[in-house]
Structure 1
Amino acid sequence: MDRLSGLDASFLYLESGAQLMHVCGVIVVDPTTIPGGYDFQTFKKELSNRVEGIAMFNRKLKFVPGGIDFPVWVTDDEFDIDRHVHRMAVPSPGSDRELSEVSGHLAGIPLDRSRPLWEMHVIEGLANGKIAIFSKMHHASVDGVSGSNMISYLCSLESDAAPLDTSSAEHQRAPSNLELIGRGVLATATKPWQIVRLTAPTTRTLVETSRRARRGTAMAAPLTAPRTSFNSTITGHRSIAYTDVSLDTIKDIKKAVPGATVNDVVLALSGGALRRYLQERGELPETSLLASVPVSVRSESKRAGRNQVSSMFCRLGTDIEDPLDRITGMAQANVNAKEHHKAVPADTLQEWAEFAAPRTFGLAVRMVSDLRLADRAPVIHNLVISNVPGPPVPLYFVGARIDALYPLGPVFHGAGLNLTVMSNNGLMHIGAIACSELMPRPWDLIDKFPDELEAMRKAVLG
């Protein structure tokens, strides 16, 4: 038995038919590298062998009666690979557009909570002879880093080699309802003491934030974002697009701008692409868009849980035309944002999430959706942008060489667009997922990234 942390459980409580809390990925592989050639049944059997005994793939939720405590993970003794790995084909002509349409449809289907919270769809029929694997894992089970680490369970450095990680987990027994209720009562009884313990550090954080705001060294504040066409109430329909850019070019730009990081360049690149997209549509705001940027605290956090993240708010410079000015300003602003973020204890979000109440979260989500509050209330942030580190060398997914891996995160009421990037063997893969009613053609945005990177290269490197 493995109890979910408050932050893990919050992704269950925040989920609705419109606000789906799974993370997805489009993995494009070359089947010609598979020893003996590709065959779906053989491929599925090998995949089954690799996930056997790995907790991430074989655990399911058991809920506490009355919802008085967070659910627990238990081993699914009736695990069946056929319920998680499926086969399908894209319609002709099998281009990226057809693959993205199929992927968008799959992304809009919730995971079955009675089973382990993951799925993979092996998609055949691509015009280039490649195969795509569309993966889904619930955010209660993984964050960006742990989701990326999933690759190590299934991949190898050579097509015929063993997986990078062959570790297995102990069997997680299913506790009785009486035991869960007892644990829940005990956890509830200790919450007042936990609040007292959190009051002092939280107060110090608020005081420090106030001081930084007066000095002009605080990170960008939420609730100050301008409204765009993708900042509204979302539905459960998803649209997807993706592209690749050169990681070497991003690194060259980073080296040429004092104090800049790869993440700064990614944010400035995203800001430039969004500026082009909004300007083309005649809806570019006068003030900069605001992004929520997840930050891993895995190395600093002392709390258990699958999600060990915090968040940093960053202005994207969409109000700045010159790419050099944008990246320079981004690097300078993010120095303050990172220092401010470091001043906040790593476990703050996780500890306050321990007070999450399922009914309260569920009621809040329904209220925001039913009353369409996201259409009228101040915009908290325009979108989420994540930068997930990927493998620096070629990897083989069940024997098939990975040619591209496009990560896709969740979208929220009021922020109907998510951009996630992952480095992989010299490329930066960029995935965009949006509410299709708010952004029906994300390709109009994603196609701006290569052009913007070239403009940044010329502006910075000459």
Structure 2
Amino acid sequence: MSDAEGLMWRLEKDPHLSSNIGTVTILDRAPDFDLFRQRLLGASLRMPRLRQCVRVAPANIAPPTWVTDSNFDIDHHVRRIALPKPGDERALFDLASLITAEPFDRTRPLWQFTVVEGLKGNRAALVQKLHHTIADGESGVQLSLEYLDFERDAIPPSMPDPDEIDEAREAADADNDAADMVRNVLAGAFRLPLGVLDQVRELLADPTQIPDATSSAADTVRGLVTQLSDVDGARSPLWTERSTRRHLETASAPFTETRAAAHALGGTLNTAFMTIATEAASRYHAELGAPVGELRASMAISTRTEGSGANAFSLVRMLVPTDDIDIDERFRAIQAATDSAVRASSSASLDKMATFASALPTSMITRLARQQAHTIDFATSNVKGSPVPMYLAGAQLLSNYPIGPLSGVAFNLTLLSYLGRLDMGLNTDAAAVKEPDMLRRFIVEAVDRFTSLAT
């Protein structure tokens, strides 16, 4: 695993910091299940990660490694169920929340796809569940090309020879296990000098030392430790409780109009999305008699390059204005806050934090992560999808609602573009957001107000 993937794996010692991600895909009809199962079987042969489980190094002397699951069973990962009548979308979304929130069996490959039949209107759905160590949003979209088509009756790709692939993987596992262990231990030792690691431990143990620390090691880690030591609490007077109970709501926005409004205001689609989320959060607090002037939000920023692995993103945090102002003024304030947050986070990226975290005890890492989660009210993420119709084993995709991880915040609003729309999944902590349908309604109204700026 990369350091970032190893960090996400270790954080799940705390169930509030689960890294499961998902998508609820609405289909115009039930797919050919046998064909879909066959497609995923072929994908698991072409993409080694889908047949790999996690092996943890003794005493965490090296990052966890991916090894082939000798007992791989495609039927554990590809399933089919049916909704009870009347089969409405509320029942589907409740089911999807349960599926994605349930922890993975950590002895098996970390993915599960469930075809859900019986959706009202002769429709069906696919609930996709991945552990974040397998893929982030963008690489998850790339994975989907293994089982999606650009036409309804597409000819499926030929199956690889499973025996040849299994033999090659078993040989590779046997040859590389010992070498990988040594390589990872050495890499862990030389990624950071021991003096730097000692400085990190000391500063994390007592953050009051940071302003006075002057050594070169402290200079190297100052930006990182400052971010990790930020204990300024979340701002919401309503979203104070946390639990492992989840509730999913969905909404959509028109792609062209939303982007046009963002460009008219001199900003980006990312800023538009954060503005819509912030506008809804502002209205939610005012409606419940607890208006607030600002909230703390986080935004996932892609750092993907041609050589990136399964996960390539960074998280930036910012204060967003939630007082009673016009939506265009809110947009400009958020654009400025985003630009500042991106610049400030350049010295404390997720990869850098994960590298330092690899040298720290898991108990300290989970405590720090929970502490950091308490500084954030809500999170957002934006993923690019397909602009053209897609098909799954003969069924057309109608919409694609993502389910982002909460990791200790009150709600995560994730956007996935598809076919001229921006489909949004609102994943809430049921203990924090007690009126999720109200928050969804305010998101829809915020979309209408923001897109009206394009005309």
**Native 8 Å contact 2:250 2:440 kept in 1:** yes
Match of 1:336 in 2: 340
Matched, 1:450 2:441: no
Distance 2:159 2:261 in 1: 38
Match of 1:266 in 2: 273
Structure with greater helix percent: 2
The structure-2 alpha-carbon separation of the partners of 1:453 and 1:74, relative to structure 1 and needing over 3 Å to count, comes to same
The structure-2 alpha-carbon separation of the partners of 1:379 and 1:354, relative to structure 1 and needing over 3 Å to count, comes to closer
Give how far 1:450 is off.
Answer: 2.0
The structure-2 alpha-carbon separation of the partners of 1:406 and 1:204, relative to structure 1 and needing over 3 Å to count, comes to same
Give how far 1:410 is off.
Answer: 1.1
Answer with 448-457 or 288-297: which moved more: 448-457
Distance 1:309 1:429 in 2: 20
Answer with 187-196 or 439-448: which moved more: 187-196
Aligned to 2:315, what secondary structure does the other structure show?
Answer: strand
Alpha-carbon RMSD across the aligned residues, in angstroms, is 3.5
| Consecutive unaligned residues in structure 1, runs of 5 or more | 33-37, 211-217
Superposed counterparts of 1:226-241, under 5 Å = 226-235=235-244, 237-241=245-249
Match of 1:41 in 2: 34
The structure-2 alpha-carbon separation of the partners of 1:240 and 1:401, relative to structure 1 and needing over 3 Å to count, comes to same
Q: Tell me how many residue pairs correspond in the alignment.
A: 429
**Native 8 Å contact 2:3 2:358 kept in 1:** no
Q: Which amino acid aligns with 2:282?
A: R
Q: Pick from 323, 326, 333 the counterpart of residue 330 of structure 2.
A: 326
Aligned to 2:281, what secondary structure does the other structure show?
Answer: helix
**Native 8 Å contact 2:320 2:337 kept in 1:** no
Match of 2:317 in 1: 313
Distance 2:296 2:156 in 1: 40
CA offset digits 1:138-167 (Å, max 9, x no partner):
111212221222222221211223579999
Q: Pick from 272, 295, 304 the counterpart of residue 298 of structure 1.
A: 304
Question: TM (normalized to structure 1)?
Answer: 0.82
Match of 1:244 in 2: 252
The structure-2 alpha-carbon separation of the partners of 1:359 and 1:445, relative to structure 1 and needing over 3 Å to count, comes to same
**Native 8 Å contact 1:228 1:382 kept in 2:** no
Q: Pick from 19, 22, 43 the counterpart of residue 20 of structure 2.
A: 22
Q: Pick from 385, 389, 393 the counterpart of residue 384 of structure 2.
A: 389
**Native 8 Å contact 1:154 1:164 kept in 2:** no
**Native 8 Å contact 1:239 1:439 kept in 2:** no
Match of 1:213 in 2: none
Distance 1:209 1:361 in 2: 17
The structure-2 alpha-carbon separation of the partners of 1:41 and 1:445, relative to structure 1 and needing over 3 Å to count, comes to same
Superposed counterparts of 1:30-429, under 5 Å = 30-31=28-29, 38-161=31-154, 171=169, 173-175=172-174, 182-193=182-193, 196=196, 203=219, 223=232, 225-235=234-244, 237-257=245-265, 259-285=266-292, 287-299=293-305, 305-341=309-345, 344=346, 348-357=349-358, 360-362=361-363, 365=366, 379-413=374-408, 415-429=409-423
Give how far 1:430 is off.
Answer: 0.4
Aligned to 1:394, what secondary structure does the other structure show?
Answer: coil
The structure-2 alpha-carbon separation of the partners of 1:164 and 1:240, relative to structure 1 and needing over 3 Å to count, comes to farther
Distance 1:355 1:228 in 2: 33
The structure-2 alpha-carbon separation of the partners of 1:165 and 1:312, relative to structure 1 and needing over 3 Å to count, comes to farther
Distance 1:201 1:9 in 2: 24
Give how far 1:395 is off.
Answer: 1.2
Distance 2:122 2:410 in 1: 33
Distance 2:406 2:85 in 1: 29
Q: Which amino acid aligns with 2:273?
A: V
Answer with 7-16 or 83-92: which moved more: 83-92
Aligned to 2:138, what secondary structure does the other structure show?
Answer: helix
Distance 1:461 1:165 in 2: 47
The structure-2 alpha-carbon separation of the partners of 1:261 and 1:185, relative to structure 1 and needing over 3 Å to count, comes to closer
Distance 1:30 1:272 in 2: 33
Question: TM (normalized to structure 2)?
Answer: 0.83
Distance 1:209 1:332 in 2: 24
**Native 8 Å contact 1:84 1:120 kept in 2:** yes
Give how far 1:397 is off.
Answer: 2.2
Give how far 1:362 is off.
Answer: 3.8
**Native 8 Å contact 1:13 1:362 kept in 2:** no
Distance 2:158 2:239 in 1: 40
**Native 8 Å contact 1:227 1:379 kept in 2:** no
Distance 1:28 1:313 in 2: 32
Aligned to 2:23, what secondary structure does the other structure show?
Answer: strand
Distance 1:209 1:316 in 2: 23
Q: Which amino acid aligns with 1:193?
A: P
